Amino acid sequence: MSHEAGAGGNAEGGSSGDESGSGGDMPSAGGGGKPTVGCDCTVGEYCQDGTTKCRKCADFSRLEFGTAQKLGTLALSIERFPRSAGIGSQLFYVSGAPDQARILYTAAPVSGAGVTLTPPTQVESGPLYVNGYAEQNLFFDRQQPDGRKLMMATWTAPDLRTADALVPAPINASGFDDYSIAISPNTGHVYWMSTRNGAPELLWQPTSLSAPPAPAPLDLKLKVGSAECARSGDDATPWVNLAGTLLLFSNPSLNDSCEPNDSGASDLYAAPLNKEGTAAGSAIALGSLNVTGGTSRETDPSLSPDSCAIYFASDNGTRNFDLYRAPRN
């Protein structure tokens, strides 16, 4: 089954389901699919499931994934937000319960846990490495006395090289929560969660314009069976590719009446973006990764630098999140 989510994009990773959440009951995060017959694919390509056809990882018109593998060496407690550190398999991620979460970096996820980047007294989340958007290249959110605020710093492996600072207004708004940022450096489009208008919303702003418009809610429709549902939930955990053509996010699992169909479950979605930065079509569920029929939460999706694999977090219904990686197929 091919999940249409728009073509285009490049082969680089983050800046940073044509049906809803199908995938069947599974003992662990993600689906599987048939083993590949075998292909002689080049760098930046993957072998399409069950065939000898090589497809470009930069082509997002087909978003199917193989069996998700747990990054077990990083499982210290509760792990969230796996995000590329820009090269190979290097990752940032978040470890700890929400009231104790800290950002870590690892050069080799298969070799063991990472190193903490910021002071242990801080509560942080949503790391995002973005080279080329601003002088700073690492963005994240931090709990402050007046709510969650988006921060930025300069990072060079393995440490932060500059003191962190608040992302300036209007991306941060005094007295409200602003968190979970996603950035396309090629377009200057910025996406993030905010409570400035009341309930949590996914906002966006085209910051590359000489006189950017005010941040506005991103109108996202989710294809759920024959229905189109509005985005919902407290945190979409958005991620966008460098070219600004594909948005990955999470949303509460819905039925075709646009109502939650599982107790506390969430699913991964993908939406094509147009050159203006808004949705070019309905978002589709990544059915080969979502665990349906229970309470499993899949969240925090992002692609690898070559777009040939996806990272995400799942609790498999336990409320104890682990990190996963699944190849394109």
The string of pLDDT tens digits covering residues 130-168 is 998 988 999 999 999 999 999 999 999 888 888 899 999
187 occurs within a structural domain: yes
Residue 37: pLDDT band with limits 50, 70, 90 = low
Cα–Cα dist 276/164, whole Å: 30
Residues of the chain above pLDDT 90, percent? 77
Q: Which two tokens stand for residue 8?
A: 């285009």
Assigned domain for 253 exists:
yes
By DSSP bridging, strand 138-144 and strand 124-129 are antiparallel
Four-residue CA torsion sign, 126, 316, 72, 64: negative
User: Does residue 217 belong to any structural domain of this protein?
Assistant: yes
pLDDT on residue 15: 52
Number of domains observed in the structure of the chain: 1
Q: Domain holding 62: CATH number?
A: 2.120.10
Residue that has been written with the tokens 């996820």 in this structure: 109
Residue 81 in any domain: the answer is yes
According to the model, what pLDDT value does residue 120 have?
Answer: 83
66 in any annotated domain = yes
Q: Is residue 22 domain-resident?
A: no
Q: Which domain holds residue 68?
A: 45-327
The answer to whether residue 169 scores a pLDDT higher than 90 is: yes
Residue 33 lies in a domain: no
